[in-house]
Amino acid sequence: MEVSRCCQRRHRLLQTIASEARETASFTGRPVFAPEVMEAMRSVPRHCFVDPELEAAAWDNRPLAIGHGQTISQPFIVALMTDVLAPEPHHRILEVGTGSGYQAAVLAQLAGHVHSLEIIPSLAEAAQARLHRLGHDNVTVHCADGYHGWPEAAPFDGIIITAATPTIPPPLIDQMARGGRLIAPLGSPWDSQMLVVVTRDEQGALTHRNLLPVAFVPLRGEGERASE
């Protein structure tokens, strides 16, 4: 993409994210996202995470198809979920639903290491190759059913589920560190869902908070079967 046009689109997208943050603040309690989150949204090249024919739309604030009936999330939602997780350089993060690898790349700008789980083998392979090519060497993509989390690397300071699920898989709750957070779109895949944040305090107690109605593609695998 031509450099100056790309810069203008990035700038416009950041402005859109900032204004949507203000407009949704009565739900989210976050009128302004952290500067580090906005910088990650500016610097991760979203157009490298979609097919060439969608490149021109990559800096619009909307979800885009990535094949296999899956989508790369809307940038505002990526920014919001990242801001809620508030990754720090010493944090270990788990993502369920790698998709294109875009959300993982944004998290990896801020966190120590990101483990990302993807159930569709070709998406997992493509995302890992793309992340490596772009220099995100602190992301490891595993082709696995995210229902079970990734116990080998637990506990996680932050867990993000990027597919709709009626309930949070219990293994993911078990893999939250004390002081950790989990964010997930909860609800029926065929309806809108509620973005929910779960916090585990230093004593281990859990609290839930509803953030915003959202629409995600469904979580497959064990989680889908468990809810039938």
Q: Which of 4, 19, 73, 116 is flagged as catalytic?
A: 73
Could you give the CA distance from residue 114 to residue 68 in angstroms, rounded to a whole number? 23
Q: Does 82 bind ligand SAH (CB under 6 A)?
A: no
Q: Does 99 bind ligand SAH (CB under 6 A)?
A: yes
Q: Does 221 bind ligand SAH (CB under 6 A)?
A: yes
Q: Does 172 bind ligand SAH (CB under 6 A)?
A: no
Q: Which stretch binds ligand SAH (CB under 6 A): 36-44, 107-115, 198-206, 220-228?
A: 220-228
CB atoms within 10 A of CB 144: 17
Could you give the CA distance from residue 198 to residue 60 in angstroms, rounded to a whole number? 29
Query: Cis before residue 166, ω within 30 degrees of 0?
Result: no
Contacts of 73 (CB under 8 A, 6+ apart): 63, 99, 102, 103, 162, 216
Site for ligand SAH (CB under 6 A): which residue of 87, 146, 149, 180? 146
73 is catalytic: yes
Residue list 15-74, contact with ligand SAH (CB under 6 A): 70-73
List of residues contacting ligand SAH (CB under 6 A): 70-73, 96-97, 99-100, 102-103, 117-120, 123, 145-147, 162-163, 217, 219-221, 223
Catalytic residues: 73
